[in-house]
Amino acid sequence: MAFESFNEFIAMGGHAPYVWAAWGVTGALLVAIVLHARAERRQLLRNLQRRVRREERLGANQSEMAGVSHHMGGNRHDT
């Protein structure tokens, strides 16, 4: 082992503030990346669900409109 005791390990030969700050920042950034990725995934799924609902609604409206125009005299050859 490189250190004689646990206290020497924590002290890191006098460089503890730099070493542990680097570890802390790295850990915080990794956690932030994971949280950000999860938030983006949730937002993407919500947007996709909203898009599917909108397209289904627009598709239903267009089929209703096509049916109405066809029944209301869409064929002008009767005259």
User: Looking at the predicted structure, is the pLDDT value of residue 24 above 70?
Assistant: yes
- Assigned token pair, 26: 């790295």
Whole-Å CA distances, 8 to 4, 17, 69: 7, 13, 85
Host H or E run for residue 14: none
At residue 1, the pLDDT reads 58
Question: Residue range 13-31: average pLDDT?
Answer: 95
Residue 42 has pLDDT above 70, yes or no: yes
Report yes or no on 68 lying in a domain: no
Q: Is 36 a residue whose pLDDT tops 80?
A: yes
Is residue 46 assigned to a domain? yes
Residue 11 resides in a domain: no
In a domain, 26, yes or no: no
Number of domains in the chain: 1
Out of 9-13, 23-27, 74-78, the most confident range is 23-27
**Using CA atoms, how far apart are residues 34 and 75, in angstroms rounded to an integer?**
59
pTM of the predicted model as reported, rounded to 2 decimal places: 0.62
Please give the mean pLDDT across all residues of the chain: 86
Alpha helices (H) in the chain, listed in sequence order? 6-11, 16-71
Asked if the structure places residue 4 within a domain, the reply is no
Residue 13 in any domain: the answer is no
Place of tokens 């680097």: 22
Does the structure show a pLDDT above 60 at 10? Answer: yes
67 belongs to a structural domain: no
Using a 10 angstrom Cβ sphere, with 0-12 exposed, 13-18 middle and 19 or more buried, the burial of residue 19 is middle
Residues spanned by the domain of 57: 33-61
